[in-house]
């Protein structure tokens, strides 16, 4: 999740250009084709996409998706159709009870050709409540008042804003799904709880009463097991808070770090994950040898931006995780053309996945698909076309026709 002061908002008025593309162009490098040579093992294409399909008021997304004509929804749907992942995590997709928004998006947009792309069918979906917009009843930002997005359990102006959804072509083992929406932050051993810099006591930004309600997940953490042939692949989905919009206490930066740490601990068998409990009360993390993919907008770049030091390195350097290092030519072109903060970045812009404001923080690698090492990587990429590519009308520039994030995909062998 990013807030409007950092994330450049989508403007529907410019979306018509993205819908005037020529017919399907499967030969374009920015529309990835999976290998089909005889004798090659079948691949699983896993993707994450912060598609910025959140709305300003409750019910807004459902109303827009019901029409089948929402321009932004058509554009992000075409991006998904072009990439054609087998499973995709949607971030910034408002939670609507009963999965109605996910159903409408699948039926009215993904299941209908957009811009000449082939429709894509996802028979399986998982949605669950988010902490965003859920009132805490406390003054969590210590501004002297109670209420509003900053005092919610996760930033949001209504319950479920900036939620998420998992869509899949493979069956979801519903009975084995685990959610961690209610896990309390202070129950993580060594949690980086924020400190009030005006007092001598450590880690005292939140009162004792507030610590009994403050949850780790700004949205939620989900373990969604897929049945791929005769094997199980765990989709570990989340969307940590942006590490900004706070003060010297760095409450969001610290929370971002620990939201990322949660998955690093979860995939480590034994004592490292023994403290974890899910919403049903079951304790512990993944078993040794389990196949998994950590994915989502982690709001943390390895070298640039505002995230807490080493936040994303907890995953990138994990002994059970592979970093496929997806790249794009469009990210390099954008950083060079836009300049500003991008000119002083340490990271290679080929790895960027988000087109943020050029003054600060610049474009960043924020979105990740990180498979376990027992899922060999065949290919990977960021769907960020160069301007000369006709598909660049889908991603565009500010004001974006789709999202300020790019879809990231990885092909793994199961």
pLDDT recorded at residue 40: 58
What's the rounded Cα separation, in Å, for the pair 149 and 394?
A: 31
pLDDT recorded at residue 21: 38
What's the rounded Cα separation, in Å, for the pair 384 and 119?
A: 20
Q: Give domain limits for the chain.
A: 43-413
43-413: what fold? Deoxyribonuclease I; Chain A (3.60.10)
What's the rounded Cα separation, in Å, for the pair 401 and 414?
A: 35
pLDDT recorded at residue 32: 74
Cβ-contact 7, 356 below 8 angstroms: yes
Element (H, E) at 320: none
What's the rounded Cα separation, in Å, for the pair 189 and 182?
A: 16
Residues of the chain with pLDDT under 70: 1-31, 34-41
pLDDT recorded at residue 46: 98
pLDDT recorded at residue 229: 87
What's the rounded Cα separation, in Å, for the pair 383 and 339?
A: 21
pLDDT recorded at residue 245: 95
- Model confidence pLDDT, tens digit, residues 97-132: 999 999 999 999 999 999 999 999 999 999 999 999
């Amino acid at each position: 999740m990013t807030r409007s002061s950092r994330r450049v908002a989508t403007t529907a008025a410019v979306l018509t250009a993205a819908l005037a593309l020529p017919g399907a162009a499967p030969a374009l490098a920015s529309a990835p084709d999976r290998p089909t040579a005889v004798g090659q093992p079948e691949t699983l294409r896993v993707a994450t996409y912060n598609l910025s399909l959140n709305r300003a008021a409750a019910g807004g997304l459902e109303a827009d998706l019901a029409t089948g004509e929402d321009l932004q929804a058509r554009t992000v749907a075409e991006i998904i159709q072009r990439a054609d992942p087998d499973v995709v995590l949607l971030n910034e997709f408002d939670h609507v009870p009963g999965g109605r928004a996910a159903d409408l998006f699948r039926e009215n947009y993904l299941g209908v050709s957009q811009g000449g792309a082939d429709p894509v069918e996802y028979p399986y979906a998982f949605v669950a409540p988010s902490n965003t917009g859920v009132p805490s009843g406390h003054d969590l930002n210590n501004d002297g008042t109670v209420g509003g997005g900053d005092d919610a359990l996760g930033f949001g102006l209504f319950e479920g804003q900036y939620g998420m959804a998992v869509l899949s072509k493979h069956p979801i083992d519903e009975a084995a799904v685990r959610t961690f929406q209610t896990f309390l932050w202070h129950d993580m051993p060594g949690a980086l709880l924020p400190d009030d810099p005006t007092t001598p006591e450590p880690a005292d930004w939140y009162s004792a009463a507030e610590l009994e309600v403050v949850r780790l997940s700004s949205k939620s953490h989900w373990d969604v097991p897929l049945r791929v042939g005769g094997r199980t692949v765990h989709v570990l989905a989340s969307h940590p808070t942006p590490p900004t919009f706070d003060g010297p206490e760095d409450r969001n930066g610290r929370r971002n770090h620990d939201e990322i740490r949660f998955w690093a601990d979860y995939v480590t068998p034994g004592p490292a994950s023994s403290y974890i409990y899910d919403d049903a009360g079951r304790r512990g993390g993944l078993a040794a040898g389990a196949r998994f993919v950590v994915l989502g907008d982690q709001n943390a770049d390895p070298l640039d931006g505002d995230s807490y030091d080493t936040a994303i390195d907890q995953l990138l350097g994990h002994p059970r995780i592979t970093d496929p290092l997806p790249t794009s030519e469009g990210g390099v072109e954008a950083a060079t053309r836009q300049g500003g903060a991008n000119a002083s970045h340490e990271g290679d812009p080929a790895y960027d996945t988000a087109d943020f404001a050029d003054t600060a923080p610049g474009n960043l690698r924020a979105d990740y698909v990180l498979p376990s090492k027992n899922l060999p990587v065949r290919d990977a990429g960021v769907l960020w076309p160069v301007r000369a590519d006709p598909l660049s009308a889908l991603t565009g520039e500010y004001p974006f026709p789709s999202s300020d994030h790019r879809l990231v995909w990885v092909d793994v062998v199961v």
